[in-house]
Structures are given as structure tokens and as C-alpha cells.
A and B are shown apart, each in its own frame.
Chain A
């Protein structure tokens, strides 16, 4: 599972302040810290508190790139902000995200083709998040078909089946695992998969425990990546261990350290 480090997000107070004051230090510190912990991508989200999301995104991308060579995952519902970020990205980035809504897919896949970007597609549409696996997979198929129609290789598409907090939508859990399994049967090569990991534990008291157990269960169903806390040591160790148990990495006694250093 590739870790998409979630920490550069304007929802966090230090990042919001950094964006307001144009102070690159907190951003760059988190970029380096997440990279050292084994993140494969850095999520970049300007957060809700900014008026000019376009210029904030551009600034965040620029200062993050000064500190880290990791590819970026540009996270916004404002596609103009994403496009501004893509313009200044030095390496192909990831667009986070697009639902299975036609006009949004048209906008996002056009951008993805232009900037050679990967795309996170959400298994939801105008009607919201479906409850069962079949409906989620149907939306995933729409995303796959659109991705293909824009000439983007399917393995650049990451489908998020959308996990809900386990204390609210407990019945969604098994549907999400089943969706992950079925997504891998949609095409050859199949699309990749991702989740926003912290969603699953929103509002619970054992957030880190729930996050990491969900992560390894989902990995066994075909989860390729997650937007999560790269600095959660236990999570990173659990992911490294699951990769060994799934025969994705070759075992050695220092496998957790190797996992952390793999992108350096």
C-alpha cells in the first residue's frame, strides 16, 4: 500500500497559518517528515479557510517541491486550483478527486491527459454514496470507461470505494471490502485503488487502531494506496508487515526500516 501523506492540509492549524503568512517552514517540515516515514506521495490541500484557493495551491506546490522529491496529490474540489497546481508540478502528479459525474469527469480527465496526471475517482455520483458493493462497482466502471475514453492508461486511475465512519455506517464496511475485490476484475490491467483512511475512524475513540486494522484488511482485498497519517508509526509498521504477508516485498529482519526508506 502506497502511503499518501495527509498532513499538508489547510484543515490543520499550522498549515492554515503557514498559508496565510506565506511561511514555507511548517509545510516543508511536514514534507520531509512524511517522506522519511515512508510516504510515497504527499497530499496537498489548501483547506477551507482560504479565499484564493488557486494561488494558495500554487504556493503550496512550489514550497513543497523545494523540500521533497515525492510526487504530489493535489486535493481540492476546486478544479481551477488543481489545474494551477498541475501547471507548476515538476513531476507527474495525482488529481484528488473526481466523482462519477459526467461534467466533472470531462474536466478532470482532460486535465489528467494534458498534464500526464493520475486520477483518484470516487465511487459516488449526484445521488451520493451507494450502500452496496454492486452500485459502487457500477460507478467505478463509469470512471474506468471515461478514463479509457480520454486515452489515459487505466493503471493511472485510483478508485476510492469511499469508506464511512465505522460508528455511523457500520454496514458499509463489508461492502467496501467487496468493492475493492471487484474493482480488480473490471479491466486488464485493472485500475488501482485508494481510500481516505481516517474516514473509517471519524468520531471513534480508537482511531489509530481502527485505521491500521482497516488498512491491512483492505490491503488483503486489493487496496493499493491510502491517504493517511504517514507519521503514525504503528500504521506504517502494520502496512510494511502486510506487504510481507501478501508477498509484495521480500522479507528481511529490517523490513519495516526498509519500507520506510524505500522512496529515499
Chain B
């Protein structure tokens, strides 16, 4: 008698979220992207479906990223004065599946740019690339609350992924998404209970939004507590697969943002000879962080270095190959 190999069975699945909208649905994207829909743990194709491959969004700023290390800046030096050209380069040259546009200029401590300026940039980027967009504010809630609504209105129907809704400040982003047909990033501070509660709060504003939420569990870079993020993500995913509707959302992680502020990514080989070449090390640090998170169920990776993106895309290609038996 043949040995029957035990397979885990789950009774539920992760919600499938569609990002972007084509002209058929009131947008201008050349295509949409689906994330989520898993019926088993990541890449265990023999236990269930992983119908949609994880995607990589490359980060684009609307100001010159002065603080980025030279080896990262060099990848965009011909375009980083121009968000539209930068986005185009990411898609056409570096193979980004999506663009994550960050309105750093709106930061009151940087340029305090008015929302009208941000809208011009957003429209240029939308015109320059056909991929679905993620739109982040400057990260300062007070200002972001004033710009997310107008940005959402200016791109009505595009089904942007708007970031971020937090437990203490979710209404402006959620209502912008609701009113102008976008999706929402629900961010919680490495806390599964808050992640769940936030999804409930958003769904209480609008039940249909439940199918347009992407969870940002807040991730850490390799060496900085990634195991906490990992275990939170794993627990959320087990919850989703076992029927917890309020945690059954795809997940997004700001890999580039976390990695590129850490000393392992920045410090030169002269300062730390034992660590090896900084350019190679930093890229590997970003790629390794991303790959670990893929195993925990990350659906959208927001990344920066094209070299790291390339490595992770190759890895996703391999992981998505059928291993069912």
C-alpha cells in the first residue's frame, strides 16, 4: 500500500484584492493586479492554492531622496528629479509590478508642499505608467489627513492602494477610499489584535471595504526583529485560513523603508572591513529581508534597489512553480 502523505486542510481562504482599474472599470491602468486568494500557507502548492504571485512595488518619491546611500541613489540619478520618469524607469527598466508613490514633499518639515502640487505629480505618474499605484502620504498624520482626500478624488476610479489607515487615524483614508473607489492599507504596530480591530473599524464604516483592505503588519528589517513580524504574519495567516474573516486580507510590507536606514545597509567596507562591500551587502540585506517575509505570507513587497528586486523576482518565479504531488 502506498504511503499517504499527510496534508494540512484549511477551511477558509485569504480574500482576493484587486488593485488598479482599467478603462472598463473607470480607471486608466493598462491592467489590474490581483493579490491574496491563498488557501494554504505560502508556496505549499501541494496543500492548496496560491493563485496570485506576490508582487513587488518599487518606491518613488516626489523629492530627491538625499539620505539614500550612493549605491541606491545611483540607480535613479537620471530621474529622481522627476517622479513620472522615475516611475517609468522602475517599470520599464527594473520590472516593477507596481509603483509606490510617496509624497515626501508634503511633509511640513521638508517642503510642506500644498496638495495641488501633489495632485499634479500624481497625475503625471498615472500618465507615465500603466501599472496600479500605491499612494502614501508624507507619514505625518495631520498633514496626510488633509491631502489623502483630494488625492483620492483626483484619481477617482483608479483603485489606488491608499496608505495608511491606523487605529487612531483611519477615517480620512477609509472614507477617501470609500468615496472615490480605492483600496486601503490598514497599518498596525506589529500587533495582531490591533490589526484585527482596525479591519473591524474600517468595515464598520463600509462593509464592501472588507474586500479592499491590505494589511500592513509593520515589518522589521533582517536583524531588527524580523522574527516578530514573521510570527505576527504567520498567526494572521493561520487565522485567515481557519476562518477568521477579519484577518483574511493580503499583506504588504515596507521592506525598502526598513532596510535602507539600517547600518548593515549603509556603513562602508572601510568602516567595517569584516562586513564586505557595502553595495553588494545592502542589496543582499534588502533581498533577504524580502524573501523571509515572502515565506510568512507577504503579498506586496515595497522595495527600493533594482538589484534586490531582480533577485526577489527570480526567487518568486521559483517559489511559484508547482510542487504539488
Interface residues of A, Cβ cutoff 8 Å to B: 249-254, 257-258, 261-262
Contact at B245–A250, with CB atoms within 8 Å?
no
Please determine whether B243 and A262 come into contact, CB atoms closer than 8 angstroms: yes
* Structural contact, A252 and B243, CB atoms closer than 8 A: no
Among listed B173-181, B189-197, B301-309, interface-contacting one: B189-197
On B, residues with C-beta under 8 Å from A are 192-194, 196-197, 200, 235-236, 239, 243-247
A256–B198 alpha-carbon span in the complex (Å): 15
Q: Provide the residues of chain A in CB contact with B196, threshold 8 Å.
A: 250-252, 258
A sample of 14 more A-B contacts (CB under 8 A), given A249-B239, A254-B200, A258-B196, is A249-B244, A250-B196, A250-B235, A250-B239, A251-B193, A252-B196, A252-B200, A252-B246, A253-B197, A258-B200, A258-B245, A258-B246, A262-B243, A262-B245
Contact across chains for B243 and A254 when beta carbons are under 8 A apart: no
Tell me the bound Cα distance from A257 to B192 in angstroms: 17
Tell me whether B193 and A254 are in contact (CB under 8 A).
no
From residue A189, how far is it (CB to closest CB) to chain B in Å? 10
Residues of chain A with a CB closer than 8 A to B200's CB: 252, 254, 257-258
Contact B197 A252 (CB under 8 A): yes
Are B245 and A252 in touch, CB under 8 angstroms?
no
Q: How far is the CA of A24 from the CA of B325 in the complex (A)?
A: 49
How distant is the Cα of A253 from the Cα of B236 in the complex, in angstroms? 16
Chain A residue contacts of B246, Cβ below 8 A: 252, 258
CB distance from B73 to the nearest CB of A (A): 41
In the complex, how many angstroms separate the beta carbon of A195 from the nearest chain B beta carbon?
22
Q: Known: A258-B246, A262-B243. Contact between A250 and B192, CB under 8 A?
A: yes
What's the count of A-B pairs with C-beta under 8 Å? 30
Sample 16 A-B pairs with CB under 8 A, ordered by A number.
Answer: A249-B244, A250-B192, A250-B193, A250-B235, A250-B239, A250-B244, A250-B247, A251-B193, A251-B196, A252-B196, A252-B200, A254-B197, A257-B200, A258-B196, A258-B245, A262-B243
Q: Which residue of B lies closest to A248 (CB)?
A: B242
**Please, which residue of chain A has its CB at the minimum distance from the CB of B239?**
A250
A250 to B239, CA, bound (A): 7
A104 to B246, CA, bound (A): 42
Q: How far is the CB of B251 from chain A (nearest CB, A)?
A: 15
**Closest chain A CB from B192 CB (angstroms):** 6
The smallest C-beta distance from B47 to any residue of chain A, in angstroms, reads 17
- Of A251, A252, A253, A254, the most chain B CB neighbours within 10 A belong to A252
Complexed CA–CA distance, A253 and B195 (Å): 11
Listed residue (B235, B239, B246) with the most chain A CB atoms within 10 angstroms of its CB: B246
Contacts of A262 in B (CB 8 A): 243, 245
Closest CB-CB distance, A192 to chain B, in whole Å? Answer: 14
- In Å, the complex CA distance between A231 and B177 comes to 36
Residues of chain B contacted by A258 (CB below 8 angstroms): 196, 200, 245-246
Q: Kindly provide the distance from the CB of B241 to the nearest chain A CB, expressed in whole angstroms.
A: 12
Q: How far is the CA of A258 from the CA of B236 in the complex (A)?
A: 15
CA distance A262 to B235 in the complex (A): 18
By a CB distance below 8 angstroms, the chain B residues around A254 are 197, 200
A253's closest neighbor in chain B, by CB? B197
Nearest 10 pairs of A and B residues by beta carbon:
A252-B196, A252-B197, A254-B200, A250-B239, A251-B193, A253-B197, A252-B193, A258-B246, A250-B196, A250-B192
Closest to A249 in B: B244
In the complex formed, the residue of A with least CB distance to B235 is: A250
**A101 CA / B244 CA spacing, docked (Å):** 39
Question: Bound state CA distance, A174 and B246, in angstroms?
Answer: 37
| Distance, CA A257 to CA B201, complexed state (A) | 12
- B247: which A residues are within 8 A, CB to CB? 250
Cα of A258 to Cα of B18 in the assembled complex, Å? 25
- Residue of A253, A261, A262 with most chain B CB atoms under a 10 A cut-off: A253
| Contact between chains at A253 and B193 (CB < 8 Å) | yes
> Nearest Cβ in chain B — how far from A18, in angstroms?
32
Tell me the complex Cα distance, A252–B197, Å: 5
From residue B233, how far is it (CB to closest CB) to chain A in Å?
A: 13
Instruction: Give every chain A residue within 8 A of B194 (Cβ-Cβ).
Output: 252
Kindly state the separation between the CA atoms of A148 and B48 in the bound complex, as whole angstroms. 26
Contacts of B192 in A (CB 8 A): 250
Tell me the smallest distance from the CB of B248 to a CB of chain A, in Å. Answer: 11
Determine the residue in chain A with the shortest Cβ distance to B195. Answer: A252
A156 CB to nearest chain B CB (Å)? 14
CB distance from A42 to the nearest CB of B (A): 19
